[in-house]
Amino acid sequence: MPRCLFGLLIFLIVFEAAGALPLDAAELVKAADEARFPRGKIIFQVKVEDLIKNKKSRETVYRVLADGTGRSLVETVLPERQQGRKLLMLGNDLWFYSPDIKRPSRVSLQQKLTGEISNGDLANTDYAQDYEAFLIGEKLLGNKTVYQLKLTAKTKAATYSAIDYWIDKQTSAPVQAHFLSVSGKVLKKGFYSGLKNVMGKKRVTLLRVEDAYSEGRSSVMSYSQHKKGDYDDSVFSKESLSL
């Protein structure tokens, strides 16, 4: 009898520990993805403010359609002179459409990384799909207890080779990210904030990205107007870009 009680006690301790620290890193990243974007077909707007020494140097507004499976369409809304430019991303495949030419053109994966805020940053809704996750541990970041993870790219479609990722233990929302190059150098540092109720769940709506190489240069991405996507799968096709 005492043996049974001892066994039960051990089981309860292990079970309790597992509940307190879920060790599945992939699940953590999935939860953080949900705290960034709603699942399924969505539409949202992103305002990108480029700052030099905290002074706004440029503002661009994009409309993004994404379906959470690596397919996204980014269309420039503002400034007016760039309105109508579109970038379609289907995993590794990218097409660019410009109203000057009125013809979609295939572009190289490099294009995904161009711009202060790379095109990949705008619409990457699914880190869980693009990156392998490893849980490193827990730590205190500011006044928050966070999980520290290392994400490494599973495919070429991933925007970065690796990401150091910190997720709030309490809300499952991402707090901070360091985006790394192939050589492991930090390219950009991202800081998530602006937790708001979006489509029935608390989600981050602000991402400040600091350029690790140019001091004083940063960009703030504000996500808004999230909606369930009422569009057909054919919008994610090269042919639809010019319709």
Partner 1 sequence: MTVWGLVKQVMKSPSVFGVIILLALSPAFAQRNLKPAMEWKMDMRSDLGWHLQDAQDLAIHRHQLEFEQIWRTKKHWTFRAGGRARVDGSYAEDSRNSHGKASSGGQEISAREIFAHYQKGGFSAKLGSQTVVWGEAFNSFYADIVNPKDLRERGIGDLAQIRRPIEALNIQYIAPKWSIQGLYLPTFRPNQMPHLQSDFFPSYLSGDLHGVPAEMDLTPVLDDSPGDVGVRVQTRWEAADISFFYMSMIDRQPALDITLTGDVMNPLYIINAKHTRMSAGGLTFSWADDDVVVRAETVMYSSRAMNLRPTPADIASGRFSRIDKGSQWVGVVGFDGVLSKDWVVGVQYSEDILSGVQSSYRAERESMIGLQIAREWEKAGRLKLLFGQMGSDGSYALQPSFFIPRGRALEVGIEGVYFGGSKDSVFGSTQRANRLVLAIRGFFRG
Among 27, 39, 49, 111, binds partner 1 (CB under 8 A): 111
Q: How far apart are CA 222 and CA 196, in angstroms?
A: 12
Asked if residue 15 lies in contact with residue 7, where contact means CB atoms within 8 angstroms, the answer is no
Distance (Å, rounded) from C-alpha 207 to C-alpha 191? 6
- Show contacts with partner 1 in window 222-241 (CB under 8 A): 225, 227, 229-234, 237-240
Minimum separation from the CB atom of position 225 to partner 1 (A): 6
Per CB under 8 A, the segment of 14-22, 108-116, 138-146, 193-201 that binds partner 1 is: 108-116
For residues 204 and 174, the answer to whether their CB atoms sit within 8 Å is yes
Contacting residue, 3, 19, 80, 137, with partner 1 by CB under 8 A:
80
If the CB atoms of residues 171 and 240 are measured against partner 1, the closer one turns out to be 240
CA 99 from chain centre, in angstroms, equals 28
Evaluate whether 241 touches 212 at the Cβ level (below 8 Å). Answer: no
Tell me if 83 contacts partner 1 by CB under 8 A: yes
Of residues 12, 14, 78, 136, which one binds partner 1 by CB under 8 A? 78
d(CA 83, CA 80): 5
Could you give the CA distance from residue 142 to residue 136 in angstroms, rounded to a whole number? Answer: 18
Using rule CB under 8 A, residue 27 touches partner 1: no
Contact positions vs partner 1 (CB under 8 A): 43-45, 50, 57-58, 63, 65, 78-81, 83, 92-94, 99-103, 105-111, 114, 116, 156, 225, 227, 229-234, 237-240, 242-243
